[in-house]
Amino acid sequence: SNAHKVINGIIRVFYKDYSNNIWVGSNVGLSYFNIQKGSWQYITFPNSASPFVGSIVEDQAHQIWVSTNIGIYRIENNIAVHQ
């Protein structure tokens, strides 16, 4: 199943967060390897968009932020929230 694979497309950026999860941004979206579950998780963007992910950062509160070709998003419960 696709739930156990990294996102398709051309990989553009990797990021290891505070909890040791590995985030992968591509030209068609974002996913991360959830270290506790041992599986890949996909991030859902508004309107079923598949954005080009340019960068992934984590703030002091350990929230993940992503810059894309369609805006800046904060990740909340596996959903990208437009900022």
- pLDDT the model gives residue 29: 93
- Tell me how far CA of residue 44 lies from CA of 24, 49, 51, in angstroms: 14, 8, 10
Listed as ranges, residues in the chain with pLDDT below 50 are 1-2
Residue 41: per-residue pLDDT: 92
Task: Sheet containing 29-34: give its strands across.
Answer: 11-16, 22-26, 29-34, 39-42
What pLDDT score does 71 carry?
95
- DSSP structure string for 8-77: SS-EEEEEE-TT--EEEEETTEEEEEETTTTEEEEPB-GGG--PPEEEEEE-TT--EEEEETTEEEEEET
